[in-house]
Amino acid sequence: MKSNIIGVCRTFRYLSFLFLFLGAGFNMHAQVIANYGIEGWAAYTPGGKGGKIIRVTNLNASGSGSFAAAVKASGARIVVFDVGGVVDLEGSSISIKNPFVTVAGQTAPGKGITLVNGGVYIHANDVILQHIRIRSGSEGHESGSWEPDALSTVGAYNVVIDHCSFSWAVDENCSVSGSRFNGTTPDDWRMNTSHDVTISNCIIAEALSESTHSKGEHSKGTLIHDNATNIAVLNNLYSCNKDRNPLFKGGARGAVVNNYIYNPGSAAIGFVLNESEWLGHEHQVGYLSLVGNYFRHGPNTNSSVTLLNVGRGPCFVYMEDNITEKQRELLFNEHKGKGYLLTPVKSAWNENISVRSATDVQQYVVENAGVQPWSRDEIDTRIVNEMLAGEGKIIDSEAEVGGFPTHEEVYCAFNENEWNLDYMLKYLPGIDISEPDAWPLLTKDSTYIFEALVDPSADTFNYLELLLDGITVSKVMKPPYKWEIFISEAGNHELLLVADIDSSMKRASLTYHFSVEDPLSSGKQTNKARDFRFSVYPNPFSKQAFVSFVLSQASLVSVDIYTENGMLIDTLINEYRESGEHNVIWNPVTLNTGVYYVKIKIGNDMFFDKIIYR
């Protein structure tokens, strides 16, 4: 049985097959998740996948090489960091207006990237923002003239905000916003404001209370504005925000799952339709699904605060396994208010949302919430430790807790060969995969065995997690790391193997891209990636064939020929090639007529095509 390192292939698949592991069945969904670990309605966004890489090379507020310039660029793009430290936005805000971008703060060296003295506003669709800290603050600003959100979407959709840290905002720490009534029908209103947004695994804390906001007191966690729909608020730590932890407004719809809410002053989770804002418009029903949340009173929490407070409906609410800890008393599914109806079924839900028990939420957010939880900065560390100790407070100024951070400026060039660019996970060397005997031709309605092979020199890990087309299939804790696959559908598929280094750090071991053919069908079966094309011609051929491909950058390239049964019979090249167009000749001396496969490997990427010799 052969063994090869299988690389990254950037292809979406919408095909289903049954996956069996130790007798347990797995059925694919019709729509596949495009990002590792992301849940909710926005989990299917590609972000900047397959786009150009833009490097942040300095900590300037604007200009060439800055964070602002990178996110404002156009076209599909992945923003990576050659520098770590603090970016002073100098009292300005950054607006992301061009779609299809992934901001990968996890690539920043040192303690990562922190933005201070400003905020970020997302106006575009298909945006992924990960591992970015935004600490707005009020230092140097006059009352009534400075009201930034740390982060807000504005009429945006397909947006993922994941593993970020937001604090010291003067308006909201993290909001989902847009126009209330843009259009003529309620469906128009929902489509033209923010929708399909995930806020997950974040620390949302210490929004400023009596600061520079024109309304005076304004310590707010998260506001989900009117008619925003398909909003997932998952696995976050809310700490020391006076209210809106989060607050949904009229007609808004979403799921609030497995959040830990500590020390709000006057409100935890809320819903309200303000009639004065809806004059002349028919009231729309809001939908809330509250599952597995843990609310803990703190030093500033009013004793009358309940987990859910509905100021005014209409609203349908589903509640399950929500706990309130109040002076060592545990209360379950607390709620109060008017104009709402508790329902026996989830009123707003996406089936890809995973749920843990409310009693496990504190440990989860301690281990996983915020930027680079395996190496938190001193501010996130303090916020988490104060939550655990029952300390901390609602603050009026960042100066009360030490002021803006001064992280060391650190430089380390991003090396794209060390990263799985589809999932923005760093590779873990030393893990290989043993291919099925029938490789590279797999046929439907057959069973194959895949086995991960771990080099003794590889970094230690807790388990290997296998994902099929972006959906977690199983986690294997100890060797043998073996999976039995029954394939029921033809087409292109992807297996992603992820190593759990600790509870918060994951590493991509490899991505395995393979084709499955229906032996009863005819025609070409290919598994080319979206961003790479190669051709084999003439096809069929009788004397010689040409393999033509284009390299976007200099790379190590190999071109191999396999029989229909998966036997390697020829290697045409295995060498370093410069960028540009290349042609390789296959001139076989003795060859039986039949079907053969051409495999091109470029770095860690592998591509296949079928060719017929006659």
> What residues act catalytically?
244
24-27 β-sheet, strand order: 3-4, 431-434, 446-454, 481-487, 18-21, 24-27
Is residue 398 helix, strand or coil? Answer: helix
User: How many Cα atoms are found within 13 Å in the side-chain-facing hemisphere of 306?
Assistant: 13
Kind plus residue range of the DSSP H or E element containing 467: strand 463-468
Q: Compute CA distances 310 → 244, 247, 322, 449, whole Å.
A: 12, 9, 16, 53
Euclidean distance between CA atoms 382 and 53, whole angstroms: 34
Let me know: does 239 contact 264? Beta carbons within 8 Å.
Answer: no
Three-state secondary structure string covering 192-206: CCCEEEEEECCEEEC
Q: Which of 326, 312, 319 has its CA nearest to residue 270?
A: 312
How far apart CA 129 and CA 77 sit, in angstroms, is 12
Longest dimension (CA), the chain: 86
**DSSP letters of 317-339?**
EEEES-EEEETTEEEES-EEESS
Task: Tokens for 292, please give them.
Answer: 């597995």
SS (H, E, C) 471-501: EEEEEECCCCEEEEEEECCCEEEEEEEEEEC
Structure tokens at 537: 């011609």
What is the rounded radius of gyration, in angstroms, for the C-alpha atoms of the chain?
Answer: 26
For CA atoms 459, 11, 596, 443, give the dihedral sign. positive
DSSP class of residue 180 equals: S
Q: Answer for the pair 386, 378: CB distance below 8 angstroms, yes or no.
A: no
Instruction: Report d(CA 167, CA 533) in Å as an integer.
Output: 45
Task: Give the 3-state secondary structure of residue 350.
Answer: coil
Q: CA-to-CA distance for 583 and 400, rounded, in angstroms?
A: 66
Distance, in Å, from the CA atom of 382 to the CA atom of 405, rounded to the nearest integer, reads 13
Count Cβ atoms below 10 Å from residue 216 Cβ, excluding itself. 11
Other residues' Cβ atoms within 10 Å of the Cβ of residue 359: 12
